[in-house]
Amino acid sequence: MNDLKPQPFPAEIPFLHDLGVEFLGMANGEAAVALDLQARHMNSWHVTHGGVTMTLLDVVMSMAGRSLDPDARGGVTVEMKTSFLQPGGMPGGRMIAKGKAFHRSTTMCFCEGEVWNGDKLVAKAMGTFKYLKRLDVMKKMEHE
Protein backbone atom coordinates (compact mmCIF):
# COMPACT_ATOMS: atom_id res chain seq x y z
CA MET A 1 0.00 0.00 0.00
CA ASN A 2 3.04 2.26 -0.12
CA ASP A 3 2.68 3.21 -3.82
CA LEU A 4 -0.91 4.39 -3.64
CA LYS A 5 -2.26 6.49 -6.49
CA PRO A 6 -5.76 8.03 -6.61
CA GLN A 7 -8.28 5.74 -8.28
CA PRO A 8 -12.05 5.79 -8.73
CA PHE A 9 -14.03 4.25 -5.88
CA PRO A 10 -14.90 0.60 -6.48
CA ALA A 11 -18.59 1.50 -6.02
CA GLU A 12 -20.37 4.81 -6.51
CA ILE A 13 -21.18 6.29 -3.12
CA PRO A 14 -22.69 9.76 -3.68
CA PHE A 15 -21.90 11.03 -0.17
CA LEU A 16 -18.18 10.24 -0.53
CA HIS A 17 -18.12 11.79 -4.00
CA ASP A 18 -19.73 14.99 -2.65
CA LEU A 19 -17.28 15.07 0.24
CA GLY A 20 -14.33 14.73 -2.16
CA VAL A 21 -12.88 11.50 -0.75
CA GLU A 22 -10.19 9.86 -2.91
CA PHE A 23 -9.86 6.08 -3.07
CA LEU A 24 -6.16 5.20 -2.78
CA GLY A 25 -6.39 1.42 -2.68
CA MET A 26 -7.52 -1.73 -0.91
CA ALA A 27 -6.02 -5.23 -0.77
CA ASN A 28 -5.18 -8.01 1.68
CA GLY A 29 -7.12 -6.56 4.60
CA GLU A 30 -5.81 -3.00 4.21
CA ALA A 31 -7.22 0.15 2.62
CA ALA A 32 -6.45 3.85 2.30
CA VAL A 33 -8.41 6.97 1.35
CA ALA A 34 -7.52 10.66 1.29
CA LEU A 35 -9.26 14.03 1.46
CA ASP A 36 -7.98 17.43 0.37
CA LEU A 37 -9.44 19.74 2.99
CA GLN A 38 -11.62 22.68 2.03
CA ALA A 39 -13.54 25.31 4.00
CA ARG A 40 -16.71 23.19 3.70
CA HIS A 41 -15.05 20.41 5.77
CA MET A 42 -14.45 22.68 8.78
CA ASN A 43 -16.30 23.14 12.05
CA SER A 44 -16.89 26.45 13.87
CA TRP A 45 -13.30 26.36 15.19
CA HIS A 46 -11.97 26.23 11.59
CA VAL A 47 -10.53 22.71 11.90
CA THR A 48 -11.82 19.53 10.25
CA HIS A 49 -15.26 18.59 11.55
CA GLY A 50 -15.24 15.39 13.62
CA GLY A 51 -17.94 13.92 11.38
CA VAL A 52 -15.60 14.20 8.40
CA THR A 53 -12.87 12.41 10.33
CA MET A 54 -15.29 9.68 11.43
CA THR A 55 -16.55 9.24 7.86
CA LEU A 56 -12.99 8.64 6.64
CA LEU A 57 -12.43 6.08 9.41
CA ASP A 58 -15.74 4.30 8.78
CA VAL A 59 -15.12 4.03 5.04
CA VAL A 60 -11.49 2.92 5.23
CA MET A 61 -12.17 0.26 7.87
CA SER A 62 -15.12 -1.12 5.91
CA MET A 63 -13.02 -1.23 2.73
CA ALA A 64 -10.20 -3.03 4.55
CA GLY A 65 -12.63 -5.74 5.65
CA ARG A 66 -14.28 -6.01 2.24
CA SER A 67 -10.89 -6.53 0.61
CA LEU A 68 -10.74 -9.95 2.31
CA ASP A 69 -13.91 -11.25 0.67
CA PRO A 70 -14.64 -10.45 -2.99
CA ASP A 71 -18.27 -11.56 -2.54
CA ALA A 72 -18.91 -9.06 0.28
CA ARG A 73 -20.40 -6.25 -1.79
CA GLY A 74 -22.57 -4.65 0.85
CA GLY A 75 -21.91 -3.95 4.46
CA VAL A 76 -23.12 -2.11 7.49
CA THR A 77 -21.29 -0.67 10.45
CA VAL A 78 -22.40 -2.48 13.60
CA GLU A 79 -20.21 -0.59 16.07
CA MET A 80 -17.51 2.06 15.90
CA LYS A 81 -15.43 3.69 18.62
CA THR A 82 -13.30 6.72 17.79
CA SER A 83 -10.68 8.52 19.85
CA PHE A 84 -9.79 12.05 18.71
CA LEU A 85 -6.18 12.75 19.59
CA GLN A 86 -5.82 16.29 18.25
CA PRO A 87 -7.65 18.69 15.94
CA GLY A 88 -7.87 17.74 12.30
CA GLY A 89 -6.39 19.80 9.51
CA MET A 90 -7.32 23.19 8.11
CA PRO A 91 -8.30 24.20 4.57
CA GLY A 92 -5.49 23.40 2.15
CA GLY A 93 -4.32 20.40 4.17
CA ARG A 94 -4.68 16.75 3.25
CA MET A 95 -5.82 13.93 5.52
CA ILE A 96 -5.01 10.28 4.84
CA ALA A 97 -7.01 7.47 6.44
CA LYS A 98 -5.59 3.95 6.71
CA GLY A 99 -7.57 0.88 7.71
CA LYS A 100 -6.68 -2.67 8.60
CA ALA A 101 -8.83 -5.75 9.23
CA PHE A 102 -7.49 -7.80 12.13
CA HIS A 103 -10.16 -10.53 12.49
CA ARG A 104 -12.80 -11.95 10.17
CA SER A 105 -15.61 -14.44 10.71
CA THR A 106 -18.14 -15.67 8.14
CA THR A 107 -20.20 -12.47 8.17
CA MET A 108 -18.39 -10.07 10.51
CA CYS A 109 -15.09 -8.24 10.37
CA PHE A 110 -13.19 -6.37 13.08
CA CYS A 111 -11.05 -3.47 11.92
CA GLU A 112 -8.92 -0.58 13.10
CA GLY A 113 -8.20 2.72 11.42
CA GLU A 114 -6.15 5.89 11.71
CA VAL A 115 -6.45 9.37 10.22
CA TRP A 116 -3.27 11.33 9.62
CA ASN A 117 -2.75 15.01 8.84
CA GLY A 118 0.83 14.95 7.57
CA ASP A 119 2.89 13.42 10.37
CA LYS A 120 0.20 14.11 13.01
CA LEU A 121 -2.11 11.31 14.13
CA VAL A 122 -5.55 12.94 14.34
CA ALA A 123 -7.78 10.01 15.34
CA LYS A 124 -7.86 6.24 15.85
CA ALA A 125 -10.88 3.95 15.65
CA MET A 126 -12.02 0.38 15.95
CA GLY A 127 -15.09 -0.93 14.23
CA THR A 128 -17.20 -4.01 13.66
CA PHE A 129 -18.76 -4.53 10.24
CA LYS A 130 -21.38 -7.00 9.01
CA TYR A 131 -20.98 -7.96 5.37
CA LEU A 132 -23.79 -9.08 3.10
CA LYS A 133 -23.81 -10.37 -0.43
CA ARG A 134 -25.09 -7.68 -2.82
CA LEU A 135 -28.08 -9.84 -3.81
CA ASP A 136 -29.05 -10.23 -0.13
CA VAL A 137 -29.07 -6.46 0.30
CA MET A 138 -31.20 -5.90 -2.80
CA LYS A 139 -33.73 -8.60 -1.78
CA LYS A 140 -34.06 -7.10 1.69
CA MET A 141 -34.70 -3.64 0.25
CA GLU A 142 -37.40 -5.05 -2.09
CA HIS A 143 -39.30 -6.53 0.86
CA GLU A 144 -39.27 -3.36 2.97
Bridge partners (DSSP) listed for residue 94: 36
Domain that residue 33 falls in:
14-143
**H helices within the chain, ranges in order?**
14-19, 50-66, 134-143
Is residue 6 situated within a structural domain?
no
* DSSP class of 21: P
CATH number of the domain residue 122 falls in: 3.10.129.10
Q: What is the pLDDT of residue 2?
A: 53
- Model confidence pLDDT, tens digit, residues 4-58: 545 555 667 889 999 999 999 999 999 999 999 999 999 999 999 999 999 999 9
Give the integer Cα–Cα distance in Å for 58 and 125: 8
Number of domains in the chain: 1
Q: Which amino acid is at 40?
A: R
Is residue 118 situated within a structural domain?
yes
3-state secondary structure of 104: strand
